[in-house]
């Protein structure tokens, strides 16, 4: 029986694309033809739905989620096998959500492990929506209008969908004035990041950073409104990133102080640890590099922090961005202007002709709050771990041992260094792989100009059932 496994698996993609009757004919023909070469004894046929459980499980271990879904549709018996082996299936390599615009009826994903593109139609209520992130195998889709926004959690495999409360229940959303003539951009720009605590949204908590980091809010599917977090001392916060780890939400603040809170939600309590970004060492201080061709290069001009749950621990990934600016002086000027701070830099850039942002360096830090105090330590290597970070989706940590042909000790990154800019061109969407061993960056994806509404994000195919 064991020798049939590679035979079946090598042609499974072909089998599953056939109709049921054709599938049966092909699988039995191949199996019986193979066995006839081994022995002259008569073959006793069994019903195809009675294949041994260990054989089905062995095949399932070698399939991606798309093929598992196809296999589960063959019959009730095989569907049951897929459900029983759910917790023993190896993790899936993240997919890249491909660019799409408003009014689309389907989303496309690129699988690096397969080198294939997968397409999924959107549920009727979410058609025309935009994907603004993903978490725990669910896409975050926003649809509707600027004044009547609808936010959905959507599973492209099962077609399941949950609607989240409207942003109109958040005071700052109604108070904010749009600075853009594009209502869709105004809507998507209100969302910084949305993360889930569980792969089953109905059993977990949804947390969101909104309004340029000024709002931290919570909800559950079915709630009528968002619960906005407010500190007892009314301390102003500017949140940069959030991530769940073992029923605790970690949030990185721009500055502020370290704090731990118990947040009371409907029928739930949540532990919230706020990490000040100022506690993370700046490994790469800004450095100006000027040349004689009216070009200014500012190395490590901006630092971005990403929270990652990795094997039960919380890591902070620090990415550094270089700025290349042309037309630095006004017409007729040879002087290069001094720049202090990001606000002055943004004012300077408003009058320049070209801007290129390039992610050039990464640092990794471990966070420990178990003692009630904040401890930050530098991480020199990740072992066999691969980290996937994005400014829009939940970060992911996987072991390279589970994926043939992939290396560990690296960071796959998708960085949206964008704002509503009049630069032409304006290159700011960074993608690549950073290897900690030799500090080298590979860029397998092109850095191109994309619609401001579109968010680059990773998507982990969910387990079936």
pLDDT per residue over 150-174, tens digit each?
899 999 888 889 999 999 999 888 7
Its sign, for the CA torsion 159, 164, 168, 172, is negative
Please tell me whether residues 271 and 233 are part of one structural domain: yes
In a domain, 448, yes or no: no
pLDDT digit string (tens) for 384-431? Answer: 999 999 988 999 999 999 888 899 999 999 887 555 444 444 455 678
Phi, psi of 48 (to 5 degrees): -65, -25
Please tell me whether residues 54 and 179 are part of one structural domain: no
In a domain, 453, yes or no: no
In a domain, 367, yes or no: yes
Chain centroid to CA 367: 21
Neighbour order of strands in the sheet with 130-135: 130-135, 138-144, 149-154, 161-164
Tell me the C-alpha distance between 64 and 460, whole Å: 11
User: Helix (H, G, I), strand (E, B), or coil: what is residue 141?
Assistant: strand
User: Helix (H, G, I), strand (E, B), or coil: what is residue 188?
Assistant: helix
Please tell me whether residues 270 and 314 are part of one structural domain: no
Last residue of a domain, one of 279, 295, 316: 279
In a domain, 107, yes or no: yes
Please tell me whether residues 128 and 216 are part of one structural domain: yes
Write down the pLDDT at residue 196. Answer: 96
Please tell me whether residues 138 and 270 are part of one structural domain: yes
> Are 158 and 357 within 8 A, CB to CB?
no
Write down the pLDDT at residue 16. Answer: 41
In a domain, 64, yes or no: yes
Range of the domain at 333: 287-442
In a domain, 449, yes or no: no
Please tell me whether residues 19 and 122 are part of one structural domain: no
Its sign, for the CA torsion 71, 74, 80, 81, is negative
In a domain, 115, yes or no: yes
Residue 298 DSSP code: E
Write down the pLDDT at residue 21. Answer: 43
Write down the pLDDT at residue 9. Answer: 36
Please tell me whether residues 58 and 183 are part of one structural domain: no
Give the mean pLDDT of the chain: 77
What would the mean pLDDT of 353-375 be, rounded to a whole number?
83
Tell me the C-alpha distance between 148 and 135, whole Å: 24
Please tell me whether residues 318 and 421 are part of one structural domain: yes
Closest CA to 194 of 216, 225, 223, 162: 216
What would the mean pLDDT of 450-460 be, rounded to a whole number?
80
Tell me the C-alpha distance between 244 and 314, whole Å: 9
Write down the pLDDT at residue 370. Answer: 79
Please tell me whether residues 391 and 273 are part of one structural domain: no
Last residue of a domain, one of 261, 279, 297: 279
Contacts of 149 (CB under 8 A, 6+ apart): 142, 143, 166, 167, 168, 187
User: Helix (H, G, I), strand (E, B), or coil: what is residue 274?
Assistant: strand
Number of C-beta neighbours around residue 10 at 10 A: 11
Tell me the C-alpha distance between 244 and 198, whole Å: 9
Please tell me whether residues 241 and 108 are part of one structural domain: yes
Number of C-beta neighbours around residue 205 at 10 A: 21
Where are the extended beta strands (E) located within 278-371? 287-290, 295-310, 313-326, 354-368
Write down the pLDDT at residue 15. Answer: 38
What would the mean pLDDT of 254-280 be, rounded to a whole number?
89
What would the mean pLDDT of 296-325 be, rounded to a whole number?
87
- What is the percent of the chain with per-residue pLDDT over 70, rounded to a whole number? 65
Write down the pLDDT at residue 236. Answer: 83
Q: Which two tokens stand for residue 447?
A: 């850095």
User: Helix (H, G, I), strand (E, B), or coil: what is residue 29?
Assistant: helix
Write down the pLDDT at residue 123. Answer: 82
Last residue of a domain, one of 28, 61, 88: 88
Inform me whether the pLDDT recorded for 38 exceeds 50: yes
What's the domain count of the chain?
Answer: 3
Give the model's confidence band at 454: pLDDT under 50 very low, under 70 low, under 90 confident, else very high.
confident
Please tell me whether residues 123 and 270 are part of one structural domain: yes
In a domain, 264, yes or no: yes
Tell me the C-alpha distance between 36 and 374, whole Å: 68
Write down the pLDDT at residue 345. Answer: 59
CA of 428: how far to CAs of 247, 289, 451, in Å? 34, 20, 11
Please tell me whether residues 337 and 409 are part of one structural domain: yes
Write down the pLDDT at residue 159. Answer: 85
Closest CA to 438 of 381, 399, 389: 381
Write down the pLDDT at residue 88. Answer: 54
Write down the pLDDT at residue 287. Answer: 59
Write down the pLDDT at residue 334. Answer: 42
Closest CA to 161 of 169, 170, 150, 146: 150
Peptide bond just before 121 cis, omega within 30 deg:
no
């Amino acid at each position: 029986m064991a020798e049939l496994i590679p035979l079946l698996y090598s042609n499974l993609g072909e089998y599953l694309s056939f109709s049921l009757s054709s599938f049966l004919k092909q699988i039995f023909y191949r199996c019986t033809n193979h066995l006839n070469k081994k022995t002259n004894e008569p073959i006793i046929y069994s019903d195809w739905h009675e294949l041994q459980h260990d054989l089905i499980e062995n095949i399932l271990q070698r399939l991606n989620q798309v093929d598992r879904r196809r296999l589960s549709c063959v019959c009730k018996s095989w569907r049951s096998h897929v459900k029983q082996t759910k917790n023993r299936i190896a993790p899936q390599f993240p997919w890249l959500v491909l660019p799409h615009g408003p009014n689309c009826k389907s989303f496309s994903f690129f699988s690096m492990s397969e080198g294939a593109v997968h397409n999924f139609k959107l549920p009727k209520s979410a058609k025309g929506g935009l994907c603004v992130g993903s978490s725990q195998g669910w896409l975050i889709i926003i649809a509707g209008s600027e004044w009547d926004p609808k936010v959905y959690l959507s599973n492209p495999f099962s077609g399941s969908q949950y609607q989240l409360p409207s942003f109109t229940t958040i005071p700052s959303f109604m108070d904010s004035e749009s600075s853009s003539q594009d209502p869709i951009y105004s809507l998507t720009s209100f969302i910084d990041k949305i993360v889930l605590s569980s792969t089953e949204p109905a059993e977990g908590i949804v947390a969101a950073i909104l309004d340029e980091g000024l709002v931290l809010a919570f909800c559950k599917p079915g709630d009528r409104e968002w619960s906005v977090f407010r500190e007892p001392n009314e301390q102003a916060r500017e949140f940069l990133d959030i991530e769940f780890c073992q029923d605790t939400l970690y949030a990185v603040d721009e500055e502020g102080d370290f704090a731990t809170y118990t947040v009371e939600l409907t029928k739930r309590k949540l532990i919230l640890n706020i990490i000040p970004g100022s506690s993370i060492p700046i490994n790469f201080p800004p450095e100006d590099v000027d040349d004689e061709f009216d070009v200014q290069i500012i190395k490590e001009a901006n630092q971005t922090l990403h929270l990652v749950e990795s094997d039960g621990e919380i890591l902070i990934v620090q990415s550094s961005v270089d700025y290349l600016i042309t037309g630095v002086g006004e017409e007729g000027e040879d002087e290069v202007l001094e720049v202090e701070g990001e606000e002055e830099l943004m004012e300077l850039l408003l009058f320049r002709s070209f801007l290129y942002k390039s992610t050039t360096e990464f640092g990794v830090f471990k966070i420990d709050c178990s003692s009630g105090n904040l401890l930050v330590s530098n991480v020199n290597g990740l072992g066999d771990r691969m980290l996937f970070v994005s400014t829009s989706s939940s970060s992911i940590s996987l072991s390279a041992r589970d994926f043939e042909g992939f290396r560990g000790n690296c960071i796959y990154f998708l960085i949206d260094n964008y704002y509503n800019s009049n630069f032409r061109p304006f290159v700011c969407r960074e993608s690549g792989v950073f290897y900690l061993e030799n500090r080298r960056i590979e860029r397998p994806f092109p850095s191109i100009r994309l619609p401001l509404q579109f968010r680059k994000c990773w998507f982990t195919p969910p387990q079936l059932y």
